[in-house]
Structure 1
Amino acid sequence: MDKEQQMRAPVYEALEKLKKRRVVPFDVPGHKRGRGNPELVELLGEKCVSLDVNSMKPLDNLCHPVSVIKEAEELAAEAFRAEHAFFMVGGTTSSVQGMVLSCCKAGDKIILPRNVHKSVINALVLCGAIPVYVNPEVDVKLGISLGMQVSEVERAILENPDAVAVLVNNPTYYGICSDLRSIVRVAHEHHMLVLVDEAHGTHLYFGENLPVCAMDAGADMASVSMHKSGGSLTQSSLLLTGKGVNWEYVSQIINLTQTTSASYLLMSSLDISRRNLALRGKESFAKVAQMAEYARDEINSIGGFYAYGKDMVNGGSVYDFDVTKLSVYTRDIGLAGIEVYDLLRDEYDIQIELGDIANILAYISIGDRIQDIERLVGALADIKRLYSKDPAKMLNTEYINPKVLVSPQVAFYSQKESMPVRQTAGRICGEFVMCYPPGIPILAPGEMITPEIIEYIVYAKEKGCSMQGTEDPEVENLNVLAKK
């Protein structure tokens, strides 16, 4: 990587140049550098609002970059060791959908784990591809899906030789990594593309002693959430393509759904963040890993909590573990993860990333300080002392792998009827049901509803999980496929 080149930030530099020229705007946006919306200026600041500008010749255009955006994307590709990088302003949802839609059309099969983010299944609804799920092993105690076993991927490939691609989550929200290099090798031997949802893996490209990143493993495409561990603004992301991928075609697919009014705030944040990571990422992520490991040790010494890490690695379903993820199992103190999540926010003014039925996740990044870690550890010790209950009364937390009966697209667009959740056992679901975050569907369109899944949904609701995806905002009723 050329460090001197990486010191540049072409989009940011072009915006600075534009600002100095004091151009009179007779174009959109209509707030005209904030003059038309003083409250917005008060909220965001004059500097921020004055850079919320429209595409113009000196600033290039994200739909067809030829100058500063093109240069910025080339620098990002170099920093991330990709053949090509796309700036994405619709979040990693948009990147994931770009990957899937560029290699799958109606009727094509794609091999993937079921614990994918909803954006993956949404892409299948859009294009009509058929999912072939490799049900990952589940950690029964923690209630989370683990990685994809290479042998299971190989079996799915041999049973579905007509599949066009394999999609892998790496790492998962909780820090679990699959044997990505081996999955890539097996898939490529059978002429299938490998797509990696790397929403939680920006740091893998820059840190040391971390799991392998998608581009180094030889994957064909990867979606990278720069706004998560990379420091850019929320909703900004990258789509990376590897050797032999027709990036011009991928560009056409992206332009089917991506806005033609790309935000320069988001794009400049990608540009600046890439520069920061290229120049200082190694040291920054060493510090992040150190803080997370320190927090893990401190939380485990409280007793009752289990902050899991490298001790989970088994060479198979947990091939590696991303130590920057601070995932903590809470069920042994008699509290669901979501209950600890709520207590931390409401009683201690600490906002963590997620709480599910049995775990919490505190996201540690380049913006954290050791005193914040100390505060989190102290609050957890306090919660154990003041709020712990008898864990025997809690529901078994195991993640349930659903059974697919109809493709997501067919189910989503089928005739449906609304029924009370508790009466839907044996019916086929016609919509999504999920806790957000993490945004992994409990049910997706086309899946069989079972009594166990109903119990899981009701329990998650009672504990206070944020339920999404259903037409009914209260999640009292579910849309199921109408009986013919």
Structure 2
Amino acid sequence: MSILSQQKAPIMEALNKYKKMRVVPFDVPGHKRGRGNEELTAFLGENAMTVDVNSMKPLDNLIHPVSVIREAEELAAEAFGAKHAFFMVNGTTSAVQAMVMTACKAGEKIIMPRNVHRSAINALILSGAIPVYVNPGVNSELGIPLGMALEDVKRTILEHPDAKAILINNPTYYGICSNLQAITDLAHEHGMLVLVDEAHGTHFYFSDDLPASGMSVGADMASVSMHKSGGSLTQSSILLINNDVSEGYTRQIINLTQTTSGSYLLLSSLDISRKNLALNGSEIFRKVGEMAQYTREEINKIGGYYAFSKELINGDTIFDFDQTKLSVHTLEIGLAGVEVYDILRDEYDIQIEFGDIGNILAYISVGDRRLDLERLVGALSEIKRRYGNDKSGLFDHEYINPQVVYTPQKAFYATKEKLPINESAGRIASEFVMAYPPGIPILAPGERITTEILEYIQYCKDKGSFMTGTEDSKIEHINVLKETEQ
């Protein structure tokens, strides 16, 4: 890594130069550097408003970068060990969709774990690619989906040798990693592209103590959420390509869905954050790992809770674990994770990342302080004392293997009818049902609705999970394929 080049932040430098030029703006945005919207300027600050500008020659253009954005992307590619990096301003959702749509055309197969983020299945609806699901391993004690077993991947590749690509989560929301190197090598032996969803793995690129990153094992594409652990603004992300993936074609695919009005607030945040990680990332994530480990040990001293980590590693479905993730199992204290999540927010003014049926996740970053971590541990101790209960009657698993009947695209666009959700067992879903976060579908278009799935959805609703995906915002009705379509 060239330290001198990584000290540059070309987009930020170009914006600072542009501000000094005192250009009179007869272009968009219409707030004209904040003067036309005083309340917004007072709220966001004059500095932010003066760099919320339009693409122009001195500032380059995101849809076809040739100068400062291109230079910033090249620096990012060097920092992440990729052939090229694309700055994304539609979130990692857009990056995941671009990966799938670059790798697969309509009617072509892609192998993926079923516990993918909804963005991957949305990409199938948009592109018409056909999913071949590998059901992830499941830890029955924690009730969570794991990584893909290597033997399951091998069998699926042999059964579907015409698949164009395989998508891998690295890591899952909970911090669990599959055997990324072995799966990548296996896929490449069979002529398949390897796509890696690294929404929760930005930091893997900047620490030797953390699991392997997509680019380090030779994967072809990776989607990296810089705004999660990388420090950039919400909605900013990076798509990495490697090997023989075409930069020009990938750019064309990105431009099918990404805005032509790229936000310079988001772009400059990617540029500055990349510089910070390239120069300081190793030390940053060493501290984050230490903070997470300290908090994990303190939580486990409380009793009842289980903050899990590398002791789960089994060499296959849990090949590695991201120690920066503070994932905590809560069922033993008699509370669902989402109940602990709500109590922390409503009674202790502590906002964690998510709570699901059996677990909570606190996202720890360099921005956290020891005092805040102590406060979290103290609150969890009090919650156990005040609300701890018998665990009987609690749902004990998070993931249900789906029965896939039709492709997501065919089911989503098929002739459908609306049914009360509690009368839909046996029918084929035409839409998603999911708890958000984490945004992993309980049901996806084309899957058969079962009594077990309906019980799980109702349980999630009863426990206070934020349910999304259906046309009916109350999740009381669901669109299913008309029986004539089945």
Normalised by the shorter chain, which TM-score bucket?
Answer: over 0.9
Contact 1:140 1:398 in 2 (8 A): no
1:385-424, aligned counterparts within 5 Å? 385-424=385-424
Which letter maps to 2:412?
Answer: F
Which letter maps to 1:78?
Answer: E
1:283 and 2:297 matched: no
What SS is found at the alignment partner of 2:479? strand
What SS is found at the alignment partner of 2:71? helix
How big is the shift at 1:245?
1.2
Contact 1:141 1:398 in 2 (8 A): no
Q: Aligned partners of 2:473 and 2:33: how far apart in 1?
A: 37
What SS is found at the alignment partner of 2:350? coil
1:359 is matched with which residue? 359
Which letter maps to 1:411?
Answer: A
How big is the shift at 1:398?
4.0
TM-score, normalised via structure 2 length: 0.99
Q: Aligned partners of 1:268 and 1:320: how far apart in 2?
A: 33
Contact 2:433 2:468 in 1 (8 A): yes
2:241 is matched with which residue? 241
Structure 2 gap ranges (5+): none
What SS is found at the alignment partner of 1:294? helix
1:127 is matched with which residue? 127
How big is the shift at 1:397?
2.3
1:141 and 2:107 matched: no
Structure 1 gap ranges (5+): none
2:85 is matched with which residue? 85
Contact 1:139 1:398 in 2 (8 A): no
What SS is found at the alignment partner of 1:171? coil
1:65 is matched with which residue? 65
2:425 is matched with which residue? 425
How big is the shift at 1:150?
1.2
Q: Aligned partners of 1:432 and 1:87: how far apart in 2?
A: 29
Give 4+ residue runs of structure 1 displaced > 3 Å after superposition. none
Q: Aligned partners of 1:398 and 1:171: how far apart in 2?
A: 17
Which letter maps to 1:88?
Answer: M
Q: Aligned partners of 2:186 and 2:305: how far apart in 1?
A: 38
Query: After superposition, what is the alpha-carbon deviation per residue over 1:221-240, rounded to whole angstroms, capped at 9, x for unaligned?
Result: 00000000000000000000
1:216-231, aligned counterparts within 5 Å? 216-231=216-231
Which letter maps to 2:392?
Answer: A
What SS is found at the alignment partner of 2:326? strand
Q: Aligned partners of 1:226 and 1:366: how far apart in 2?
A: 14
What SS is found at the alignment partner of 2:366? coil
Contact 2:430 2:446 in 1 (8 A): yes
How big is the shift at 1:208?
2.5
Which letter maps to 1:96?
Answer: V
2:324 is matched with which residue? 324
1:337-376, aligned counterparts within 5 Å? 337-376=337-376
1:259 is matched with which residue? 259
Q: Aligned partners of 2:393 and 2:39: how far apart in 1?
A: 51
2:178 is matched with which residue? 178
How big is the shift at 1:167?
0.3
Query: After superposition, what is the alpha-carbon deviation per residue over 1:179-208, rounded to whole angstroms, capped at 9, x for unaligned?
Result: 100001000000000000000000000023
Query: After superposition, what is the alpha-carbon deviation per residue over 1:338-394, rounded to whole angstroms, capped at 9, x for unaligned?
Result: 000000000000000000000000001121111111110000001000011110121
Count of residue pairs the alignment pairs up: 484
Contact 2:103 2:165 in 1 (8 A): yes
What SS is found at the alignment partner of 1:323? coil
Q: Aligned partners of 1:324 and 1:285: how far apart in 2?
A: 8
1:459 is matched with which residue? 459
2:201 is matched with which residue? 201
Contact 2:329 2:360 in 1 (8 A): yes
Q: Aligned partners of 2:472 and 2:336: how far apart in 1?
A: 25
Identity %: 68
Contact 1:432 1:469 in 2 (8 A): yes
Q: Structure 1 stretch 393-402 or stretch 48-57: which is displaced more?
A: 393-402
Contact 2:358 2:398 in 1 (8 A): no
Contact 2:411 2:446 in 1 (8 A): yes
Which letter maps to 1:349?
Answer: D
How big is the shift at 1:395?
2.1
2:30 is matched with which residue? 30
Which letter maps to 1:431?
Answer: E
2:449 is matched with which residue? 449
Contact 2:358 2:396 in 1 (8 A): no
Which letter maps to 1:3?
Answer: I
How big is the shift at 1:432?
0.4
Contact 1:110 1:131 in 2 (8 A): yes
Query: After superposition, what is the alpha-carbon deviation per residue over 1:229-255, rounded to whole angstroms, capped at 9, x for unaligned?
Result: 000000000000012111111001000
